[in-house]
Structure 1
Amino acid sequence: MEQVSYTVVINGKPQGPFSLEQLSDLKVRPGTFIRKPGMDDYKEAHEFPELRELLGFSFQQTAPQYFASFDQRLLAAAIDFFLIFLAYIFVLLLCFLVVSDKNTRILLFVTYMPLILVARFIYGSIAEAGKKQGTIGKRLLNIRVTDMMGNRLSIGRSFLRNACKILSVIPLFFGYLYSFLNKKQQCWHDIAANTLVIKDRLI
């Protein structure tokens, strides 16, 4: 069985790798940042089950401290809308194969445009309540949607959050801009649904 190696942040600097047995000789505390192969970010020692067993730590759930910025959220939303729009165009092209009248084609394009918003609402709600906690756009930006303690959303709360986005749109998108005034960078729909959009802590 391949032995797992750990990188440990000591005095603000990553050091290692160390084996699990070597960690018992270091002064590892529950809040010490540690990473092992395959992880994109560091986690605190108490978040590793094997370290809790080895060092006698208990799991200490803490509220997230690193929040997605407005530009990250905006770019993620733009990516999602672009992908959904591409899917919309693809479906229209299939329809155009059986509809030859120009006026009918224009009517189809305009009439079904609101479906983009409906698709974004349904997809966003399901994806943000899923295992990855985010849409494709959010996953590409390494951000995710959580409750106030960093946990995965229920499907009900996810639908509520996306439905409350109308609060952030009216009036004049101020609900989105409010994130600049909020320490946790929450928009109005985040506050209404008691949710956060967080990012990983990278060292």
Structure 2
Amino acid sequence: MINEYYILRDNEKHGPYSHIELMDMEVNATELVLSPLATDWQEAFELPEFDEYFKSIGIYAPTTSNVANFGWRLLAFVIDYVIITIGLGLTVGIFVAIGRLTTSTISMDPLSSTSSTERDLLFRLIFLLILTSYNSTFEATKMQGSIGKFICRLVVVNINGQRLSFGTALSRNLLKILSSFLFFLGYFAMLWSPMKQCWHDQRAKTYVVRKPK
């Protein structure tokens, strides 16, 4: 029968099932399935009849053909950088304005007592904390990526194509600090990685995938 599918679980062959029954069983994207139209086992995400099912539950199994390239990831980063910079600038502007309206001291700027070097370091630290929190939070939601990634149709997934837990997302974004060392060499590592992974992706075992239209 055309619907005689078999699945390999716990090193045992189970079936036959229809592909609808396999979806009801919540087949994993990387589980081995024997299709009635094939002679060898394949991972479930390789079978086109499961495409819509996996997309509907937010699973995008990483392959060499769908991982995002350097250009798309750079564009997403630029969009996020602009969003956070504008947001941070507006926030600081509001606090400075409130400080000037409520203080009667000679110094109108609440940061005027610190040196320019200290202010620069403080802003860099705040920006890094906001960027880490921003990316980690969005990657753990149904969006599976930041606003910039959403605009560019990118999602961050684990090795099984699933959404990241907040812990994994946070680890991934903290590891970006390592990728920033030596003139951002860790980011450029994706140029020679078969699955286009930066150092932080490799260590967190994550992938950035471009969703099909």
TM category (shorter chain) comes to: 0.5 to 0.7
**Paired residues for 1:1-203 under 5 Å:** 44-48=48-52, 63-65=61-63, 66-100=66-100, 101=107, 104-105=110-111, 107=114, 110=120, 111-202=122-213
Aligned 8 A contact 2:60 2:211 in 1: no
User: How far apart are residue 103 of structure 1 and its match?
Assistant: 5.5
Cα distance in 1 for partners of 2:37, 2:69 equals 28
Which digits, 9 at most, give the CA deviation of each residue in 1:126-156, with x for residues without a partner? Answer: 1011111000000000011000121111111
User: How far apart are residue 166 of structure 1 and its match?
Assistant: 1.5
Instruction: Please report the RMSD computed on the Cα atoms of aligned residues, expressed in angstroms.
Output: 2.8
Cα distance in 1 for partners of 2:127, 2:60 equals 37
Aligned 8 A contact 2:60 2:162 in 1: no
Cα distance in 1 for partners of 2:199, 2:152 equals 21
Which digits, 9 at most, give the CA deviation of each residue in 1:58-109, with x for residues without a partner? Answer: xxx9842211111111111111111111111111111122334466455596
Would the alpha carbon gap of residues 188 and 93 (structure 1) be closer, same or farther in structure 2, given more than 3 Å must change?
same
Cα distance in 2 for partners of 1:113, 1:170 equals 16
Percent identity at matched positions?
Answer: 30
Structure 2 residue matching 1:186: 3-state secondary structure = coil
User: How far apart are residue 178 of structure 1 and its match?
Assistant: 0.7
Cα distance in 1 for partners of 2:170, 2:162 equals 16
Q: 2:162 is matched by which residue type in structure 1?
A: N
Cα distance in 1 for partners of 2:203, 2:37 equals 33
Cα distance in 1 for partners of 2:60, 2:82 equals 35
Would the alpha carbon gap of residues 131 and 30 (structure 1) be closer, same or farther in structure 2, given more than 3 Å must change?
farther
Q: Could you tell me which runs of 5 or more consecutive residues in structure 1 were left unpaired when the two chains were aligned.
A: 1-28, 32-42, 50-60
TM normalised by structure 2 equals 0.64
Cα distance in 2 for partners of 1:115, 1:158 equals 19
Aligned 8 A contact 2:159 2:206 in 1: yes
